[in-house]
Amino acid sequence: MKILVTGGAGFIGSAVVRHIIENTSNSLINVDKLTYAGNINSVAAVANNERYIFEQADICDAQSMKALFAKHEPDVVMHLAAESHVDRSIDGPAAFIETNIVGTYTLLEAARNYWKDLPEERKKAFRFHHISTDEVYGDLHGTDDLFNETTPYSPSSPYSASKASSDHLVRAWHRTYGLPVIVTNCSNNYGPYHFPEKLIPIIILNALSGKPLPVYGKGDQIRDWLYVEDHARALYKVVTEGIVGETYNIGGHNEKQNIDVVKTICTILEQLAPIKNSSLNIPNYESLITFVKDRPGHDLRYAIDASKIERELGWTPAETFESGLRKTVQWYLEHKEWWQAVLDGSYQLERLGQGA
């Protein structure tokens, strides 16, 4: 099988790329624009594999997408390319409208025009897998409520509104044109190669540098945390075994308040990188916790009901939050060259010489 992955140099996308190349016999085309969040170093482990091809291209460029489909003739599309940081969407929503809505439309049209001319057998086997987020559902107010596949959409931020729009487009292309699509909505991911603007990598790296650990509001926001490699396994299972037209929610069964996530990271760091062995002049990592003004429109609680994918496809997460978080902290301690290149900006030089 030949799989075209968009956004394969991003956090979740790179985990999907590594999983497919390392654990299957499929070929893979990684299509990524290499914006600030795209890091070609995140797929360095598979870059020289004969089944792997990288194409630097923008999903908003209709001609480029048409050419890529004609050149590579994929059997499957896994669409992960997206602007994804809520804070950035509040400060500058235009890029989210362009990439997440217009880009998804452009990719859908390229896929539809390619798919409709395929031989009948390949046409039946083709899949367009759209990877989305639980943030499209908005806020959960009860303590026992869970997002399921029929939860009404109620996005709160420009980011989640743009992802909700892309979900609707994908389903409309299935209903109107018959394009064989599958949609997944996931909870918060964490793990190796996470760009240091999200909560967990920020806390790890700030703590190691003795910088403040910023926590929005009271830190009482609740998220369901999913280890990124568990998510990659789930996505591959969905695209190979899922039912066309269906939606699958993917969660880690790990509801945690943000403040507890931060404190757990501090505890793990005390074990793996003790303050007494550092040059930091602080009593402990927790002393760095700093509460900051809350984000506008900040949802309080997200939580996924992942029973459908467990029941129908047999997927369950392998990592608990504790085991996955320890692996994550250990990874950042052992891969300073990766995150240092991100922090100093030198990783962006990698895009020079990358071409479609």
Q: In sequence order, what are the residues at sequence separation of 6 or more whose Cβ sits closer than 8 angstroms to the Cβ of residue 251?
A: 134, 186, 187, 224, 226, 303, 304, 305, 306
Q: d(Cα 201, Cα 123) in Å, to the nearest integer?
A: 42
Q: d(Cα 34, Cα 102) in Å, to the nearest integer?
A: 18
Cβ atoms 80, 148 nearer than 8 A: no
Cβ atoms 217, 255 nearer than 8 A: no
Q: d(Cα 130, Cα 107) in Å, to the nearest integer?
A: 11
End-to-end alpha carbon distance in the chain: 21
Q: Which residues are catalytic?
A: 134-135, 159
For the beta carbon of residue 45, count every other beta carbon within 10 angstroms: 13
Q: Give me 118's structure tokens.
A: 């395929």
Q: d(Cα 2, Cα 78) in Å, to the nearest integer?
A: 11
Secondary structure class of 48 (helix, strand, coil): coil
Q: State how far the alpha carbon of 204 is from the alpha carbons of 37, 87, 103, 163, 288, in Å.
A: 18, 19, 33, 28, 11
Taking alpha carbons only, the member of 35, 325, 343, 52 closest to residue 192 is: 325
- Between strands 247-250 and 27-32, the pairing is unpaired
Name residue, tokens 């790890």: 204
Rg (CA), the chain: 20
